[in-house]
Amino acid sequence: HGTSKINAKAHLEIGGCDTVELKETYGTPLYIMDEALVRQRCREYMESFRASGLTFQVAFASKAFCVMAMCRLAEQEGLSLDVVSEGELYTALQAGFPAQRIHFHGNNKTPYELEMAISAGIGCFVVDNFTELHMLQALAAEKGVAVNILLRVTPGVEAHTHEYISTGQTDSKFGFDIANGSALEAVELASGSLNLNLLGLHSHIGSQIFEVEGFQLAIERVAEFAGQVKENLGVVFKVVNLGGGFGIRYTAEDTPLKVSDYVKSITDAVKQYFVGIYAQLPEIWVEPGRSIVGDAGTTLYTVGTSKEIPGVRKYVAVDGGMTDNPRPALYESKYEAMLANRGNDVAEETVSIAGKCCESGDMLIWDIDLPKVNSGDLLAVACTGAYNYAMASNYNRIPRPAVVFVNEGSSDLVVKRESLQDIVAGDVIPERISKQPL
Ligand code: LLP
């Protein structure tokens, strides 16, 4: 998919770059991002919303892949940006992302983070709970400013997805519950504040969702609540943010819709459910992360050792693993892979791909059919653009891989490979310990 193909040398080529050459230049493991595909996904969102006739913002959920080059790219494509921590906010600001288009999320923003965001002049805070509501009100009052907010609500919708990543249900750490009256109380508080400019509501029901029914139900509940608010408090919302969660295809088991179909189902539902409630339809904001960057990413590994247990299984180990992709260990996520240096060879054996970390759970793929795999072969794992680099760790003191953008035959480093010096950069040996002779 995207710009990937097998070239005349039978090598996997992405963005016009031969992956065997990329290995020579940058080493492995290596995250490769197909820039044209990321831009295409951004444009699909922007164009589908334009076609709806509604006023909108598409905010890239930077948690999926937050690096300065990506912030710049999202900016160029006209997207806004969702950040959830001082680190993501700092990355965006350092990249020159316009503060007005930054939305700040999170269920436990610290006073420091709120201050940093107020000073930067960000476009909107997505307020998650009463503690934050009071804290933000007090900080904004102290600074003599009014800040834009959305209130995150839980509409009581449980998305059909892995339980760790569904967040729309009542028993969730996120948001004000509509069903138990918390959301109404929050609207009352926020709309009465001079320092909080209540723009509207936010709802996010989960991630890697294929069915549109969950989104439609959430919109119905939010619209119903908006009607209640209008009737009881006379407050009309300008904005409704429906979060992210649009699924992508990792393997043949996954059946996502096209971006344009997701967007159409959402904008149609907004029209359907708000038309009787509001004279003017609200602005619609969304926050896709995975569906913008997920399938544009490929991780390139070098094969090292293998171990055959006759009649049971063959393990093939690569030079990365759960440190660069913790998703199989965390969510039992499935991936597809191929030999990047022998793209035309046919499958001959079933193997399981192991990482190099010191624990049995460090497996990338169970039971995949590949050509006979040799030490030194290059393995390309597809669809690793979202929540891979973003969730990478230094477990076993393994340096994080480099990230390159490839496009029309050029490759550019966007994150340097961590060095061994980086690994010990923060370490301190207290004098009490270091003064004892070795
Ligand atoms: N907005 C909010 C408020 C979110 O919590 C999330 C994701 C998004 C937007 C973007 O969702 P997306 O379009 O990427 O599905 N680490 C997990 C995914 C966690 C998602 C957390 N929130 C994974 O690797 O599957």
What's the pLDDT score for residue 168? 58
Q: Which residues contact 356 (CB under 8 A, 6 or more apart)?
A: 304, 317, 318, 319, 320, 321, 362, 396, 398
Alpha-carbon gap, residue 353 to 348, rounded angstroms: 15
Cα 275 from chain centroid (whole Å): 32
Nearest residue to 206 (alpha-carbon basis) of 163, 236, 241: 163
Q: Encode 109-120: b = buried (16+ Cβ within 10 Å), e = exposed.
A: beeebbebbbee
Catalytic residue among 66, 124, 357, 358: 358
Which residue's CA is the nearest one to ligand 1's atom 2? 243
Q: Which of 57, 15, 56 is nearest to 39 (CA)?
A: 15
327 CA: nearest ligand 1 atom: 24
Within-domain flag for 103 = yes
Between CA 307 and CA 314 the distance in angstroms is 6
Element (H, E) at 351: strand 349-354
Whether 71 and 217 map to the same domain: the answer is yes
Number of domains forming the structure of the chain = 2
Residue 148: predicted pLDDT: 98
DSSP for 236-267, please give it.
Answer: --SEEE----B---SSTT--PPPHHHHHHHHH
The verdict on residue 29 lying in a domain is yes
For residues 262 and 320, membership in a common domain is answered with: no
149 and 52 assigned to the same domain? yes
- Give backbone dihedrals phi and psi of 349, rounded to 5 degrees, phi first: -145, 155
pLDDT of residue 171: 79
Q: What is the pLDDT of residues 18-63, one digit of tens each?
A: 999 999 999 999 999 999 999 999 999 999 999 999 999 999 999 9
Q: In a mutational test of the pocket of ligand 1, which residue from 107, 257, 290, 327 has the highest number of ligand atoms less than 8 Å from its CB?
A: 290
Indicate whether 41 and 25 sit together in one domain: no
Assign 88 to helix, strand or coil.
helix
| Separation of alpha carbons 223 and 221, rounded Å | 5
**Spatial separation of the C-alpha atoms in residues 160 and 170, rounded to whole Å:** 15
Distance 84 CA to ligand 1 centre (A): 11
Interface predicted TM-score (ipTM): 0.99
Going by alpha carbons, the residue nearest to atom 8 of ligand 1 is 244
pTM score above 0.95: yes
What pLDDT does 156 receive? 85
Tell how far the Cα of 10 is from the centroid of ligand 1, in angstroms.
36
Q: Are residues 18 and 48 in the same domain?
A: no
Nearest to 83 by CA among 55, 54, 114, 42: 114
Place of tokens 């729309």: 168
28, 113: one domain: no
Q: Which domain holds residue 404?
A: 5-33+294-424
* Ligand 1 nearest atom to the CA of residue 247, by list position: 15
- Residues of the chain falling short of pLDDT 50: none
List the structure tokens of 398: 């393994």
pLDDT digits (tens, 9 = 90+) for 244-270: 999 999 999 999 999 999 999 999 999
Tokens of 152: 């995150």
pLDDT for 1 equals: 82
pLDDT value of position 438: 79
The answer to whether 21 is annotated as binding is no
CATH of the domain at 347: 2.40.37.10
